[in-house]
Amino acid sequence: MVRWWRSLPARGARLPAEALRKTPLPGMDPRWSRLVTAESSDGPHTFHVLDTGPLLEDRGLRPTGTILALHGNPTWSYMWRAVLEASVQHAGPLSAWRVIAPDQLDMGFSDRLAHTEPPAPAATSYRRLSQRLADLDGLAAALDLDLDKPVVTLGHDWGGAISLAWAVRNSETVDAVVSLNTAVDHPTAEAVPPALRAAMAPGVLPSATVLTDAFLRVTLSLADGGLPSEVAGAYRAPYVSRWSRGGIGGFVADIPATTQHVSRNVLEEHSAGLREWKKPALLMWGPKDPVFRDRYLHDLLARLPKADLHRFEGAGHLLAEDRDIAKVLFTWLGDTFREGETVTSVSPPAAEEVTALHHQLDQMAASWRRDAPAAVQLTDEHTAQVSWAELKSQVDSLATGFYEQGMRSGDRVSLLVQPGNQLTAILYACLRLGAVAVVADAGLGLKGMTRAVRSAWPDWVIGERPGLLVASALGWPGRRISVDALTPRTARIVSAEASVERLLRRGSSTTLEAVPVPDPEAHAAILFTSGSTGPAKGVVYTHRRLGALVALLRHTFAVNPGASLIAGFAPFALLGPAIGATSVTPDMTVTKPATLTASAVASAAAAGEATMFFGSPAALANVVATSEGLSADQTAALHRIRLVLSAGAPVHPDLLDRVQQLFPEADLHTPYGMTEGLLQTDITRQQIHTAMETEQLGVCVGRAVEGVEFAVAPLDELGEPSESLSEPDADPGVLSEIVVSAAHLKAGYDRLWLTDRKSRRDRHRGLLWHRTGDIGHFDTAGRLWIQGRLQHVMTTPAGPIGPGAVETRVDTLPEILRSAAVGVGPRGTQAVVVIIEPCPGHRLSVGSSPLALPELSRRVREASVDVPVAAVLVVDNLPTDIRHNSKIDRTALAEWSDRVLSGDRVCAP
């Protein structure tokens, strides 16, 4: 092994103060910088410290509390500059946090230590974990922390592990802990991550970390999108030569990855102490980190189960460079150390109305309908059905079988099973057991699915063979259970330890009474959004909230036990047993709604004697488009349908009229909702036509259903919603963000603390409100009109405009299949651009360009009425999300339109 310390000074030496003063450090105020001498376990040392305390004192502000921020390896306190800047910039009489960010010894601009060859394997040539904890003790004393105010630790990388350990040993002094990507334990039987393993190799460590700056450069390259050259230069400034990089190598050498390591016992002592931490904790995480991967986050959550967590999707190891962590940090500190007003949610339905979802299944299996079909599934090959008694037997057997396998209440279970009879039995078994179902459908794509599963970090994965193969290939977490019995070889490949088929076949020695019934407030499911407006978010539902949703569906649409529904929209298939309705899964690819045909619906209606049909707008469109040539029996089956529901996106009235012709005896409803709350308003086809006579802007989605209350946050000239809420009837017609409160809404967003916090509005009538992100207005009759999403608002000189204000009128032109309106240009002065998707057989562009024909442009502008349209463009297909095939990607279209209008020759979006 190369002894790098033979090439370094025999005694410590502080980097000259002149080097600090002469080095360009963009974003760092030189007034923060100071040198502090503090005692440690081996005597006094001089630390370079960034400290906002003196600036706050100069402004006459007494700190609200102190944040002690500790960097890791190979960075230095410069990484906290945005936090320091935010603490000063936003300081005031009510909030003035002092931020202290020291350079650890042998790092940054603090003292350099002697690196002499050790006389024994118990080396003294590098700073150990125990010594770094003592360094912090000495610094805290030297800096004279105000212990009458909150003290919060903040750390990253190995600075996170050190700061958490220091908080544990000073738990009477430290009031909260915050950490970015870090690890407080590594099983000694497992290899360290490959990204770190190479640098730790004895023959590589000195040359990679000290003799060259390779380790430093690789670390800096991990920033999302790369670091600006001047910022990267600032990070390298304290480490310009091998004489200044000894601490980088020493930090790597002190990683306690083996049981024999000198720092292992200290790490284990303090990481075990984290399990006793009862004070507030916040974790901020960059999931693209190749070193501190999600397994370390999962370990931290096991030790700090009450910790708040915000995952920054797309961010990596250098999280403080990738994202605005200061916003999350100071928002969290404000909430944590400030008394807020009491918040209550809307009163839940009466106890007799909200029961566990599996209770209705029990009642149906015990009733005279026990032999009637509970679930019917149609495929190309055959029709399969199970009775209520059979379904209950399967659910009970799987619940006890899963329990014997080790699954417990609160365990997260990722379900990689196509909607149908098998998924229904598995889902309700999980609900009975109290396990949390994680549902992220294949419509997200492999990348989106991987991101969703890793964010939820399931304890179990139950899947069909293709899903388990993908899970194994991509390294998804969780113990594996296959749906079908596998050969021993295949089971080994996918790491399946059991199968649903064999669990049902063998039965269980455990009685269902031995399996505790879940608490109504316990988490029941995490449902991922479509990802059409950013990375898919996990929406958390409790058993009580799902029960409230079931009660609402029953009441609103008069769905009684014994009814039968065709589920062309996956969520409703899973709610069937809870409603007491037979669920009929038609022959279609559920993740591609546009694959549902009229003949498939007719076959499902006949097989399940269905009287209800639930489908997305894309599914309805294809059902209408494929309705030619139905047989007399198929037509008769469709005529027996009495209720048609379409959810997921607004449905154009013309489409509803065509659907009505196909289902002449049905009432057509288009309820408004989202993953965060599936049912909020309702409107019928006839009511839509009546509303359209008022010529309002947008799509009318009706009035609030019983138990739902709305408020509005009016938009300003830049499209920003007001912080104060108003009643819907206070100012009819004003474009606003729609805010809702109801007992069946989400319990929160999973592991997205700031996103969840921002989605809540809790200072209006003492209720808990959810910001929908949808924009629109209420009319004088109390009807809600939706004009699009908040992020798609066009901020023109005349004020904010929702895309729906243009699209609903342009879409009435006969040669246009659908349209999208986007804003191009700076906020507040944006021009409105309309992008057209022609009906089949129509050519609407000028030659090969995306510019619309002049006559079409004229008619689009006439249809847009009071909205000035700057340009009309044509594409073959508007980009949409996969799940609904109806949510248009307006962000991509806006970027494309900007390039087109700038003269670039670009491909279609």
- pLDDT, residue 445, reads 81
DSSP assignment of 776-800, as one string? EEE-TTS-EEEEEEGGG-EEETTEE
Percent with pLDDT over 70 in the chain = 91
Q: Tokens for 514? A: 């031995």
pLDDT at 14 > cutoff 70: no
User: Is the peptide bond between 826 and the residue preceding it cis, with omega within 30 degrees of 0?
Assistant: no
φ/ψ of residue 745, rounded to 5: -75, 170
d(C-alpha 517, C-alpha 497), whole Å? 25
Contact 71, 108 (CB under 8 A): yes
Q: How many CB atoms lie within 10 A of CB 756?
A: 20
Longest dimension (CA), the chain: 96
pLDDT at 287 > cutoff 70: yes
d(C-alpha 169, C-alpha 175), whole Å? 12
Contact 455, 751 (CB under 8 A): yes
pLDDT digits (tens, 9 = 90+) for 646-705: 877 777 788 899 999 999 999 999 999 888 988 999 999 999 999 989 988 888 999 999
- pLDDT, residue 652, reads 77
pLDDT digits (tens, 9 = 90+) for 359-383: 888 899 999 999 999 999 988 778 9
- pLDDT, residue 15, reads 56
Q: Tokens for 605? A: 């209606």
d(C-alpha 566, C-alpha 824), whole Å? 42
pLDDT range class, residue 793, cuts 50, 70, 90? very high
pLDDT range class, residue 794, cuts 50, 70, 90? very high
Counting every residue, how long is the chain? Answer: 909
d(C-alpha 656, C-alpha 645), whole Å? 11
Classified by CATH at the fold level, domain 33-336 comes out as Rossmann fold (3.40.50)
pLDDT digits (tens, 9 = 90+) for 453-485: 999 999 999 999 999 999 999 989 999 999 999
d(C-alpha 409, C-alpha 514), whole Å? 12
pLDDT at 178 > cutoff 70: yes
Q: Is the model more confident about 675 or about 356?
A: 675
d(C-alpha 294, C-alpha 471), whole Å? 15
Burial 573-601 (b: 16+ CB within 10 A, else e): bbbbbbbbbbbbbbbbebbbbbbbbbbbb
- pLDDT, residue 17, reads 58
The residue ranges of every structural domain in the chain are 33-336, 697-792, 793-909
Q: What is the mean pLDDT of the chain?
A: 88
d(C-alpha 36, C-alpha 9), whole Å? 23
d(C-alpha 102, C-alpha 108), whole Å? 9
How much is the average pLDDT of 820-833?
Answer: 94
pLDDT range class, residue 110, cuts 50, 70, 90? very high
pLDDT at 87 > cutoff 70: yes
d(C-alpha 224, C-alpha 221), whole Å? 8
For 310-327, give the secondary structure using H, E and C. Answer: EECCCCCCCHHHHCCHHH
Sequence-separated contacts (24+) of 224-229 with Cβ below 8 Å: 224/286, 224/288, 224/314, 224/315, 224/316, 224/318, 224/321, 224/322, 225/322, 227/318, 227/321, 228/26
Give the SS3 label for residue 98.
strand
Closest C-alpha among 222, 247, 223, 178 to residue 13: 247
φ/ψ of residue 124, rounded to 5: -110, 15
How much is the average pLDDT of 252-273?
Answer: 88
Percent with pLDDT over 90 in the chain = 65
What's the first-to-final CA gap in the chain, in angstroms?
Answer: 55
Closest C-alpha among 777, 800, 806, 803 to residue 792: 803
Closest C-alpha among 244, 492, 18 to residue 482: 492
CA-based Rg of the chain, rounded to a whole angstrom?
31
- pLDDT, residue 206, reads 82
Q: Tokens for 847? A: 């030659």
- pLDDT, residue 188, reads 66
Write down the pTM of the prediction: 0.89
Classified by CATH at the fold level, domain 793-909 comes out as GMP Synthetase; Chain A, domain 3 (3.30.300)
How much is the average pLDDT of 158-185?
Answer: 96
Contact 629, 668 (CB under 8 A): no
pLDDT range class, residue 412, cuts 50, 70, 90? very high
Q: Which CATH architecture has domain 697-792?
A: Roll (2.30)
pLDDT range class, residue 197, cuts 50, 70, 90? low
d(C-alpha 510, C-alpha 516), whole Å? 12
How much is the average pLDDT of 188-212?
Answer: 74
